[in-house]
Amino acid sequence: MRILAIETSCDETGIALLEASGGLKAPKFKIIKNLVSSQIKIHRPFGGVVPNLAKREHLKNLPILFKKLQPKTRSIKADLVAVTVGPGLEPALWTGVNFAKEIRKNLFSKTKLIGANHLEGHLYSFLLSENYKLKTKNLFPAIHLLVSGGHTILVLMKSLTEWRKIGETRDDAVGEAFDKVARMLGLSYPGGPELEKLALRQRTGKPSIEFPRPMINSNNYDFSFSGLKTSVLYYLRDHKEADKVNVAASFQKAAIDVLVSKTARATREFGARSIMLSGGVAANKALRRELKAASSGLKADFFAAAKKFNTDNAAIIAVAGYIQSLRKKNRTIRAQANLNL
């Protein structure tokens, strides 16, 4: 099955064409094209994503990427068109939804149009990881940590289609905390990757500031990152000469400690065979390293797709669209800014 997918939930315009096979038992994907056009430079002067600018850029970029996908558009063959309907920024989501409807009408009139959940895209991104291609048996139960700019969710997956949320953040998402702390440190948007780069400059010694690890020992799988963010703010206020590299590294360590500790605890409690990691923050090398080490200590397999499939892209939307079409489920094709997992 050939799937054309469109993603415009935030500040990346994505179009992808994938070949999918294997069904729900052993889904496999071959990426024909995965095109992403980033708007980072446009939003940087504003320190964050400006919804109407995002909309304007998506409107401009969608036809350009679509043309790049196949110079002679009429020769593209697709058995399914999948588009992100939410969650995300409403004006941005609409651009993708309307574009998908239009190309479906004009070019793929007999093709099914699927409204995909962006969070399911992240959740299924492990299907694009290198080690999943080698091992498809005995993956479940799995504990899945989904960490992005808008979400921090711990999911217990019993199978590819049966899962439930066991915890989530009560305030800021971890990516949001990275972005806000980066801003306090004078780093440019998007802060997460910049903060990681700064923390990497600490070659000697260890992160030495003891920031709090909120809810690390709480009797549930929820998270909270706003207190951690505030303690960095107070630290910087009280230490005008603070070593920013140490602050970045210490903040990153505190956030990762909480994420890894709770994921490991859930893995033990539910006897999980695998640990999975996804979402934009999964691009963070220190988090990947620590969670992978915890997995091997727990004798669980670790799955995380490459960085390019963790930050927003349309390949993961094609994967979610495929799984959804096999489940014969669909949702209304309209922007749903607050859609949840």
Residues that bind ligand KG4 (CB under 6 A): 10, 148-150, 175-176, 178-179, 190-193, 196, 279-281, 283-284, 311-312
Nearer CB in complex with ligand KG4: 108/223: 223
Asked if residue 212 has a cis previous peptide bond (ω within 30° of 0), the answer is: no
CB of 72 to ligand KG4, least distance (A): 32
CB of 160 to Zn ion, least distance (A): 20
3-state secondary structure of 45: helix
Which one of Zn ion, ligand KG4, none interacts with residue 325, CB within 5 to 8 A by kind? none
CB of 9 to Zn ion, least distance (A): 7
Nearer CB in complex with ligand KG4: 104/263: 263
Chain residue whose CB lies nearest ligand KG4 = 280
Which one of ligand KG4, Zn ion, none interacts with residue 311, CB within 5 to 8 A by kind? ligand KG4
Nearer CB in complex with ligand KG4: 272/305: 305
Q: Strands 163-168 and 28-38: what pairing?
A: unpaired
Nearer CB in complex with ligand KG4: 108/117: 117
CA end-to-end span of the chain, whole Å? 25
Distance CA 222, CA 7 (A): 28
Which one of ligand KG4, Zn ion, none interacts with residue 87, CB within 5 to 8 A by kind? none
CB of 180 to ligand KG4, least distance (A): 9
Distance CA 85, CA 266 (A): 30
CB of 118 to Zn ion, least distance (A): 6
Q: Which among 278, 252, 122 has a CA at the least distance from the CA of 187?
A: 252
Nearer CB in complex with Zn ion: 57/312: 312
Find the part of the chain contacting Zn ion (CB under 5 A) among 85-93, 144-152, 178-186, 260-268: 144-152
Nearer CB in complex with Zn ion: 27/280: 280
CB of 283 to ligand KG4, least distance (A): 4
The strand order across the sheet containing 28-38 reads: 28-38, 12-21, 2-7, 80-86, 112-117
Q: How far is CA 219 from CA 73, 207, 210, 303, in A?
A: 54, 27, 22, 26
Nearer CB in complex with ligand KG4: 27/175: 175
Find the part of the chain contacting Zn ion (CB under 5 A) among 24-32, 93-101, 178-186, 308-316: 308-316
Question: CA 234: distance to chain centroid?
Answer: 30
CA dihedral 7, 28, 278, 34 (to 10 degrees): -40
Nearer CB in complex with ligand KG4: 149/214: 149
CB of 317 to ligand KG4, least distance (A): 11
Distance CA 224, CA 258 (A): 9
Nearer CB in complex with Zn ion: 4/153: 153
Residues 155/18, Cβ–Cβ less than 8 Å: no
Token code pair at residue 27:
């889904």
Binding mask 311-330 for Zn ion (x = CB under 5 A): -x------------------
Residues 51/92, Cβ–Cβ less than 8 Å: yes
Which one of ligand KG4, Zn ion, none interacts with residue 198, CB within 5 to 8 A by kind? none
Residue 278, CB half-sphere, CA atoms under 13 Å: how many?
Answer: 26
Using CB under 5 A as the binding rule, whether residue 148 contacts Zn ion is answered as yes
Using CB under 5 A as the binding rule, whether residue 13 contacts Zn ion is answered as no
Q: Strands 142-147 and 152-157: what pairing?
A: antiparallel
Site for Zn ion in 104-133 (CB under 5 A): none
φ, ψ of residue 19 to 5 degrees: the values are -105, 125
Interaction site with Zn ion (CB under 5 A):
148, 312
